[in-house]
Every structure is written in structure tokens, then in C-alpha cells.
Amino acid sequence: MAINPYHTVEEINGTRCSVVEKKVSAERAAFIKGILVNSGLTVEVATDAEGVSTVGVTDVTFNALHALYARKLFTADKKVIIPSVWYQKEQTGDYYWDYKK
């Protein structure tokens, strides 16, 4: 059994990849692929007959959650991706957290 069950390595399009997300729509796969390519990673996307996609990167040590919170993912204009952007939620401010006194 793996130490981290959320970090899986599978073969996508004949290449061993670290799986970023499974069972996503084509739109979500394109969104994730854009972020990962802008961050300098090589991306593989496999889509089945039903239109469900699996997105992975060729760096088998890559963990999307760690990269997200370590601020290592970027937009096309080199802005840091924050969790609300990654999960495609409405962004209310510059940060994913709120400061309250």
C-alpha cells in the first residue's frame, strides 16, 4: 500500500505519469493542462470514448497539492495560482484566505 494514496503513477498514452486528476471533463482537462504547461511541466491527457479525461505529468515525483500550496503553479502571465483558481471557484480577493480581526 502506498504511503500517500493521493499520489498515483499510471501509464497515460504509453508514458508513465503522475496523475493530476482523473474522470474530469474535457474543459477541466484543458484548464488544468494550461496551468501545468505554463508551469513548465510536460502534460499527457487521455480521453476515453465517453469524453472523460485523465490528466497527468511526466514528472512522476510531481504532486499537484504540494505544488499548489508551495506556489509553484503559474498562469500564462506568470501569476501564482491560488486554490480558488485551481478549483475554478469565484475569487473574492487577492488571496485564498480572509484576514479577520
Q: Is residue 16 part of a domain?
A: yes
pTM: 0.83
Q: For residue 48, is pLDDT > 90?
A: yes
Q: Is residue 30 part of a domain?
A: yes
Q: For residue 50, is pLDDT > 90?
A: yes
Q: For residue 25, is pLDDT > 80?
A: yes
Domain residues for 68?
Answer: 9-86
Q: Is residue 47 part of a domain?
A: yes
List the end-to-end C-alpha distance of the chain, in Å, as a whole number: 44
Report the distance separating Cα 96 and Cα 53, nearest Å.
27
Q: Is residue 65 part of a domain?
A: yes
Q: Are 100 and 93 in contact (CB under 8 A)?
A: no
Q: Is residue 19 part of a domain?
A: yes
Which residues have a Cβ under 8 Å from the Cβ of 78 and sit 6 or more positions away?
A: 38
Q: Is residue 96 part of a domain?
A: no
Q: Is residue 99 part of a domain?
A: no
Domain of residue 79, CATH code: 3.30.70
Q: Count how many domains the chain has.
A: 1
